[in-house]
Amino acid sequence: MRTIFLSLAIVAALFAGCQKSGSGSFSTDGPVTDSASYALGFNVGQNFRNGMLENGLLGLIDREAFVRAFVAALDSQACQLTEPQLQSQMMALQLRQQTARNKAFEGVRAEGEAFLAENAKKEGVQTTATGLQYKVVKAGNGPKPTIKDKVKVHYHGTLIDGTVFDSSIDRGEPVEFQVTGVIPGWTEALQLMPVGSKWTLWIPAQLAYGENSPGDEIPPYSTLVFDVELLGIPK
């Protein structure tokens, strides 16, 4: 959120630079008198819009009020809000952002929960106390990793609709990482798997990335599916 507010400040500064002294207004129409400035402004504006869309803020602010306040600060004018009111309103905007975000991705969360409820009924699927689901595809007979270990694995990760977002199997190269260096669902599952095992994991959002998104491939509140082969415990 702090990054977005800084971006807002940059854009407002550009708007402020377009104002005529004392006019109190600006326009996006008319001839371009400085092409370089226009190019910079347009480029920043595009990036700003993308950031606002990504963070669910585009429809939550009053542009005119924002620009007026920013220009007032640049001109060393007195703020119309007290410091406690400023902090309160910033917190209120963050709450509105989170509420809007939750609403936007409620369908993803609900779909994941419904999927897991049905999946839990399938033969061979086991569910832990945390909500992690797994199925033993191949039973290994090696040692189980501990919380302090590094592991070597092959994996194939998808959304519940089958969309692939990451796969060491497709790359043809296994990976090594600390048991604690991954999402909670992985950390839990790895400590249950003997070396040589192949499992399918169904990881609910709260054990994956929750309300966050690590990239465009994984929406917030996504339930994730992994085929995992535990190859070894490197020393």
- Active-site residues, by number, are 155, 165-166, 183, 209, 226
**Distance between CA atoms of residues 108 and 130, nearest Å:** 20
Question: Are the C-beta atoms of 219 and 209 separated by less than 8 Å?
Answer: no
**Distance between CA atoms of residues 93 and 4, nearest Å:** 12
Kindly report the number of other CB atoms within 10 A of residue 155's CB atom. Answer: 18
> DSSP character for 114?
H
Displacement of CA 185 from its chain's centroid (Å): 17
Most distant CA atoms of the chain, gap in Å: 79
Question: Are the C-beta atoms of 209 and 222 separated by less than 8 Å?
Answer: yes
**Distance between CA atoms of residues 56 and 110, nearest Å:** 19
Question: Are the C-beta atoms of 152 and 176 separated by less than 8 Å?
Answer: yes
Kindly report the number of other CB atoms within 10 A of residue 13's CB atom. Answer: 14
